[in-house]
Structure 1
Amino acid sequence: MTPAHAYAGPSNAASWFTRATDWLDARGKGAWIATMVLGFIFFWPVGLAILAYVIWSKRMFSGESCARSARSMAPTRFRGSGNVAFDSYKADMLRRLEDEQEAFETFLQRLREAKDKAEFDQFMEDRQKRTDAETGDDKDAA
């Protein structure tokens, strides 16, 4: 009998593919991009196939790599430095920056709403002038 590993059937191909994608995922988006570029350089259909797979699997846009890096960055943001005064200052500064960001986003929203209202008012005014002009032309003709 032949050993099970001697048969290169679909399960071995699938495990190779899974190992390759896991290896690239562990190295992040840069590894996927580098692999895709090399695929385009050496044989363009391979690069195109990698691009299609990356888009189809949402590896570039899922934020999985970003989430992994955010998890690795999260402890430094919330972990204390050991200096109570600095930690207090840092917490206060982060709170103030978040408040400023929220105030700025609120300001931008009000600005967009005001611009939209001004554009709508201008549209209605132009429409009224056009209607009055058409009505005036009809009265002159009669």
Structure 2
Amino acid sequence: MLKMNQSALIRPDWTPATIALMVLGFIVFWPLGLAMLAYILFGDKLKAFKKDANDSVDRMCAGFRRNQGRHWAHHRTGNVAFDEWREAELARLEEERRKLDEMREEFDAYVRELRRAKDKEEFDRFMRERRNGGTPEATAS
């Protein structure tokens, strides 16, 4: 198994290889040269940054796991009167939302029926005009 050490050819330091790669990167495509320069300057800090970022994400996920199963809006405040009022208001709002959803579904069904009736009327008119030998364009004008 190979082990990385400070004698590696490409490491975040000002070595002839990294300088050559940086210059070549600027010649070929300037963002490559800029990336190599960033690696030379900040490469040592990448391990520490990665570890800090991973630790932060792990702490955040642990907090999510602790609160799993509890919805943030339903936690108790300690004031019984306020908690009862809030629960009643949330129930009322949920009932209103349910009614609005039912009304939306009824309206959607109504609009679908209107479209179906209009389509049927247009189709019947087309068929009558076709049977009478006329073209739809001639009868429309």
Q: Report the TM-score when normalising by structure 2.
A: 0.48
Q: Report the TM-score when normalising by structure 1.
A: 0.47
Larger fraction in helix: 1
